[in-house]
């Protein structure tokens, strides 16, 4: 019996680029991310099915579109939900470059003279300047050493969904006739946002080490949550500030501009919103 070989197989998509991830896979098992010994993973261009997924609002909101497109275009990724956010950003950049080419159109108005500046920027340039995570960040408070880690994409998706629900709920307050009902809805949503922020703060903590005559390492999530619920606010602020610095690692998200009219130089953030980023020509 002859093998049923598809004569079109020679026209299937091929890898367009190879790239390294900012995290180097430090926070994932091989069940979620399989990085070869070279440290570089292949990135394929999107298929027609992938492009349709990126136009589905519900799939974008719940993260399903990003998960499926990344696993389709980057076979080494088995579960994008478990990747850290800095890796997701880098992969989106790589997929955009593999699909639509290296250059992306950018435009901005000069903040000094309001002259409109139009040009292009290189996505590969941003990928080449990836700042890798070499070691975990540690916050020291007294005899405590709090080791932090990047937040995983699934937690960002959960926070985004909760934020969307809260926004919709707050928008409906104006339709309530009773002021007490308005106050009740507002307080309920405020508590949900506070809990969401607390959950994200907890997610950034890998472990807490007590440095004394005997060193004790605490990794139990319930115990760490209890600590966060009872420690001074200043400690939470230090953890939040250090966690924010972690998110700045990875790809460069700023584009330099120089106004040809007045010579003013400034930077613009590269927005990785999938709705606009992947539908742009």
Which pLDDT score, from 0 to 100, does residue 271 have? 63
Q: Which residue has the tokens 């990724």?
A: 77
* Pair (74, 154) in one structural domain: no
* Pair (141, 188) in one structural domain: yes
Given a cut of 50, is residue 281 above it in pLDDT? no
pLDDT (average), residues 83-101: 92
Crossing angle of the two packed helices 64-73 and 85-100, in degrees rounded to 10: 60
Given a cut of 60, is residue 54 above it in pLDDT? yes
Given a cut of 70, is residue 196 above it in pLDDT? yes
* Pair (35, 123) in one structural domain: yes
Length of the chain: 281
pLDDT (average), residues 123-134: 79
Phi then psi for residue 47, to 5 deg, are: -90, 175
* Pair (142, 196) in one structural domain: yes
Contact 90, 127 (CB under 8 A): yes
Tell me the average pLDDT of the chain: 87
Query: How many domains would you assign to the chain?
Result: 2
* Pair (14, 111) in one structural domain: yes
Q: Is residue 14 part of a domain?
A: yes
pLDDT (average), residues 108-113: 87
Q: Is residue 4 part of a domain?
A: no
Q: Cα-atom radius of gyration of the chain, to the nearest Å?
A: 23
* Pair (226, 186) in one structural domain: yes
Burial 95-133 (b: 16+ CB within 10 A, else e): bbbbbbebebeeebebeeeeeebeeebebeebbeebeeb
221: tokens are 């999530």
* Pair (36, 127) in one structural domain: yes
Q: Is residue 236 part of a domain?
A: yes
What is 93-115 written as a DSSP string?
HHHHHHHH-SEEEEEEE-TTT--
Alpha helices in the chain (DSSP H): 48-53, 57-61, 64-73, 85-100, 123-128, 153-171, 179-203, 221-230, 233-247, 274-277
Which one has a higher pLDDT value, 255 or 27?
A: 27
62: tokens are 């719940």
Which pLDDT score, from 0 to 100, does residue 274 have? 61
Half-sphere exposure of residue 150, counting CA atoms within 13 Å on the CB side?
28
Which pLDDT score, from 0 to 100, does residue 215 have? 94
Tell me, what DSSP letter sits at residue 178?
Answer: -
Percent of the chain whose pLDDT exceeds 90 = 49
Percent of the chain whose pLDDT exceeds 70 = 94
249 C-beta neighbours (distance < 10 Å), count:
17
pTM over the 0.75 mark: yes
* Pair (88, 149) in one structural domain: no
**CA 141 to each of CA 75, 216, 234: distance values in angstroms, whole numbers, following the listed order:** 42, 15, 10
Q: Which residue has the tokens 């009740």?
A: 184
Half-sphere exposure of residue 267, counting CA atoms within 13 Å on the CB side?
7
Which one has a higher pLDDT value, 108 or 16?
A: 16
Strand partners, 209: 145, 217
Q: Read off the pLDDT of residues 60-90 as tens digits, 9 standing for 90 and up.
A: 889 999 999 999 999 999 999 999 999 998 9
77: tokens are 């990724």
Residue 256's SS3 state is: strand
Phi then psi for residue 176, to 5 deg, are: -80, 130
222 C-beta neighbours (distance < 10 Å), count:
7
Which pLDDT score, from 0 to 100, does residue 74 have? 97
* Pair (168, 232) in one structural domain: yes
Which pLDDT score, from 0 to 100, does residue 123 have? 80
Which one has a higher pLDDT value, 254 or 271?
A: 254
33: tokens are 């991310």
Lowest mean pLDDT among 18-27, 188-197, 250-259: 250-259
* Pair (24, 95) in one structural domain: yes
| Structural domain harbouring 93 | 9-131+261-277
């Amino acid at each position: 019996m002859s093998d049923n070989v598809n004569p079109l197989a020679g026209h299937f998509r091929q890898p367009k680029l190879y790239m390294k991830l900012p995290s180097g896979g430090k926070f994932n098992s091989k069940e979620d991310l399989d990085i070869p010994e070279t440290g570089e993973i292949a990135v394929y261009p999107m298929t027609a099915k992938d492009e349709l997924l990126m136009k589905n609002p519900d799939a974008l909101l719940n993260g399903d579109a990003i998960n499926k497109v990344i696993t389709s275009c980057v076979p080494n990724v088995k579960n994008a939900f478990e990747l850290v956010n800095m890796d997701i950003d880098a992969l989106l950049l790589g997929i955009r470059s593999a699909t639509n080419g290296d250059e992306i159109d950018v435009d901005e108005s000069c903040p000094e003279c309001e002259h409109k500046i139009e040009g292009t920027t290189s996505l590969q340039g941003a990928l080449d300047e990836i700042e890798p995570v070499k070691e975990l960040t540690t916050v020291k408070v007294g005899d405590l050493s709090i080791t932090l880690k990047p937040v995983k994409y699934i937690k960002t998706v959960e926070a985004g969904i909760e934020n969307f629900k809260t926004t919709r709920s707050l928008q409906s307050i104006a339709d309530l006739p009773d002021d007490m009902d308005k106050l009740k809805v507002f307080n309920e949503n405020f508590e949900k946002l506070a809990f969401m922020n607390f959950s994200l703060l907890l997610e950034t903590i890998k472990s807490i080490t007590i440095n004394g005559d005997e060193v004790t390492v605490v990794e139990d999530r319930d115990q760490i949550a209890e600590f966060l619920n009872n420690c001074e606010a200043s400690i939470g602020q230090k953890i939040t500030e250090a966690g924010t610095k972690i998110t700045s690692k990875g790809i460069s998200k700023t584009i330099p501009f120089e106004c040809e009219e007045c010579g003013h130089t400034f930077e613009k953030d590269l927005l990785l919103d999938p709705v606009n980023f992947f539908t742009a020509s």
